[in-house]
Structure 1
Amino acid sequence: MSTFGSIFRVSTYGESHGKSVGCIVDGVPPGLQLDESDIQPQMTRRRPGQSALTTPRNEKDRVEIQSGTEFGITLGTPIALRVLNEDQRPKDYGSKTMDHFPRPSHADWTYLEKYGVKASSGGGRSSARETIGRVAAGAIAEKYLREAHGVEIVAFTNSCGPEALFPATREHPTPSTNPEFLELINKVTREDVDSFLPVRCPNVEANKRMEDLIAEYRDKQDSIGGTVTCVIRNCPSGLGEPCFDKLEATLGHAMMSIPATKGFEFGSGFGGTVIPGSIHNDPFIKAPVPADADARKIHGHGRPPKPRLTTKTNNSGGIQGGISNGAHIYFTVAFKPPATIGQAQTTVSYDEEEGVLEAKGRHDPCVIPRAVPIVESMAALAIMDAVMLQSARQSARSLLPVLPGKTIPVSETENNLTEKANGHA
């Protein structure tokens, strides 16, 4: 359907060439400082018309908060977010050819089969414009996660076509064993990523190769796909709902719901299948004490204490048994080439007659650069929902008497809730 999440619930609405797009966000904690300026930066990173390598559709994507806040503070009630479509051109899809032929690899045919009717212009709900609501909601989730837990979410372009930032080698069949990759996900920021516009690959040489490749396909009226890698840092341990809602499964659900996605690779991924267990296993080590440990303990700062243990390596991608272990969570999402291209394609009409379709409209030759903030936003929504689920469980548990003879230290999340309950946060 059009809703994601269990407690932090997001329902998106709108079509590509309708009057507006947006979402309703339910479950936002009350008391969070929030206005449009907290949401707009991610909207601007996602918007079309950013460069010569993206669609020329000129949308400002200005977000408006319609409900759920007062004087810049969330009320705990549903938040409605709206973005007007200001540069839609439904007439681009009104030609006889476009009306009579389902576009190859688009959702025209499948939507018609499912609903018996479809949007006559653009992709309707299947268009990437639907992701505006996701990005707006994700910005709210991110602000809470950042202020309450210090969570950082950063995505970047990992490959375009055959050009890859970290190509597989015999020595490193998976990035999880590559020291350069591990150093990057440990330090990379959004400012670093955005300094490599328009492609958003944080490496000078790889970024230039990808930029040239996308331009080449654009000039040929063609398209190309690629991958986006995302890292989630400072994520609380204990998140995830085994057995069917493991955290990596929830993240996979979130990522594979993004338009044009074709693959999801978590932690060591497919490359990890060729590594022996003696290398792939992540031994536990004592976690280093953070520099601000005393300040965290005394003042709280709204952040939980660091985990007591960590892992020497991180082939698991920060999740074991479907539950976060406190290490960096990282994954890669594959996107196919955009389906709409300017080249003439032989296909079949709705009336089963052979013909040639030369699609019109304004489209990206590669979705990867603009997919970066979408991946970040869906990651934020998945983690936010997991945090709220775990907080509800631990809050309920905290009301019970302490079990006699209990020697195992309580979890990071429970420690955090206990500190807050005792007035230390």
Structure 2
Amino acid sequence: MSSTEGFRADWANKDFYNQLGVKKDASAEEIKKAYRRLARANHPDSNPGDAAKHDKFKSVAEAYDVLGDPEKRAKYDEMRKLYAGGGFRGGFPGGYTNTGTAGGGGVGFDLNDLLREQASRGGGFGDLFGDLFRGGRQQPRRSQKGSDVETTATIGFNDAIEGVTISLRLTADSPCADCKGTGGKPGTKPKVCPQCEGAGFVTGSAGGAFAINETCPGCGGRQLVYDEPCPTCHGNGRGLSARTIQARIPAGVKDGQKIRLRGKGAAGENGGPAGDLFVTVKVSPHRLFGRKGDNLTIDVPVAFDELALGADIKVPTLGGAPVTLKVPAGTPNGRTFRVRGKGATKADGTKGDLLATLEVQVPAVLDAKARAAVEAYQAATAGKPLRSKLFEEA
């Protein structure tokens, strides 16, 4: 039967009157006073680290959720009476026959009578017990993961290739350091919020027959208030905290790449895990080397004769011993040589290559001997104009 959704039989076994320390015929005012007294004495903000009082506060809040509401209290009393008489021992809800009579050997009663009575008030079985066992008041806030934090870090070219550990100073929202998140002036005593009466929420209309629960504006959902607010956070319980962490930037990181560091973000709420830290890496340029994907690049100056006659040319590598390029005779200007394994570290741990591009350098000044040699070469090649094809194609 779908109308029993949310049923919690364990509530029928709990004595909420005993938990609040009041008699079953206690007045609403007596119940409220008992709750306030116990909530104040056992509230987690007033007893940090005391697990026993934290559990007591939860049980007191649970009891007041029911007994503090006249309609819920009446339904709870009715349910307790039925349970004590065996009305639910036949296997609720499957222990009821199609006629609504309790089965399984329990004390029988006509369930349809209850349904007809509730229907005459415009409700059904779910209205009769649903709000009681689902709880109409705000439940304790669940643990929540902290917010993610983003920052930017600038590292050197060599550090990007080899990997580096850097220090990051972060500023994030956190509980106020002076009041420990309570919002009250240190040394002052809290009291139950008069606006929500310690529930942590207020009920507002959503239009028509619907109502919604909203965080109490008086206490911000903390259930307690202080006559004197914390002078540091002005009563909101939040502040900014600065901390320095060590972050490992992996080898091979690229300029503009975003690194995710799990658990290094803002602290979680109510025991929840911390968020993540996202670091956008900016890489400073190098005087000699460039980068193309996982490969490093370098422009190597050469003389005309080295390309024309061939030569062995030494080329530096980043952070390693130089390598020798064997340049064949007649190599054209601008040719790129590939040196395997001398590039940046890849994601799989292997390395890219070094791409060395040869660039002929024309001397700005020639001495007499060099000029004579160049003029002799010019005379020897005078019959082979290099630009003749330009005019043929034009």
Instruction: Quickly name the TM-score band, shorter chain normalised.
Output: under 0.3
TM-score of the two chains, using structure 2 as the length reference: 0.22
Between Structure 1 and Structure 2, which shows a larger proportion of helix residues?
A: 1
TM-score (norm 1): 0.21
The structure with the largest alpha-carbon Rg is 2
Name the structure with the higher strand share.
2
